[in-house]
Amino acid sequence: MRIIGMLGGMSWESTAEYYRLTNELVRDQLGGVHSARILLDSMDFADMEQLQSAGRWQEAGELLAAKASALESAGAQMLVLCTNTMHVVVDAIEQAVTIPVLHILDATSARVRQEGLSRVGVLGTAFTMEQDFYRDRLAAGGIQAIVPEPQDRATVHRIIYEELVRGVVTEASRARYRAIIDRLVAGGAEGIVLGCTEIELLVSAEDSSVPVFPTTRLHVEAAVEMALT
């Protein structure tokens, strides 16, 4: 079994899901009391949030690249970045290590194509919904990304940073997300990509009339497959 290096803490709420799901999948596949071999660097999200808000992406990339290199030196044999948004700097991370870095959108795109879909709505932070890095990676896989209207994007982002990263999950926010999903579907979305790891704490397949693609779970499934191969 390969040792999985995890870059986490962005936020720890979603990183906890990465840790739980990874161990559950390894147990399910190997049986008994098996669990995953994991090296986890869980950073203080306040530091990263400040860099995000200030648009200091190069510094953020340098910070994560250093952490990735340290995980490799500690024995990690593959890397998982436990966040959607910070894949904006995945190139810096890949350049800092010699071990594989599993991109969250490669696993997601593969599942979308497997379902025979080519146009998906994306929910995530404002950075994920509005910058090119996310839609370009999907487009490279033959998938068109559509995002909510500005007011809906603001709502999605606010709920992530004011509630979900703090462990707050409410029915009112779930209802708001459902309404936004409905509008994306009305606009032509054939599926919904939950493009923020914390959104999976709030939204599930039952909240959408079209297939939902939970990026955290898909990312973990790809990581466990590689770790056990």
| Strand extents, DSSP E, the chain | 4-8, 38-42, 78-81, 101-102, 119-123, 144-146, 191-194, 212-214
CA–CA gap between residue 204 and residue 213 (Å, rounded): 9
DSSP secondary structure letters along 173-211: HHHHHHHHHHHHHHTT-SEEEE-SGGGGGT--GGG-SS-
Our answer to whether residue 83 is catalytic in this structure is yes
Catalytic residue among 15, 196, 197, 216: 196
Contact in structure between 82 and 90 (CB atoms under 8 Å): no
Three-state secondary structure call for residue 118: coil
Our answer to whether residue 98 is catalytic in this structure is no
Catalytic residue among 83, 85, 108, 216: 83
Question: Which residues are known catalytic residues?
Answer: 83, 196
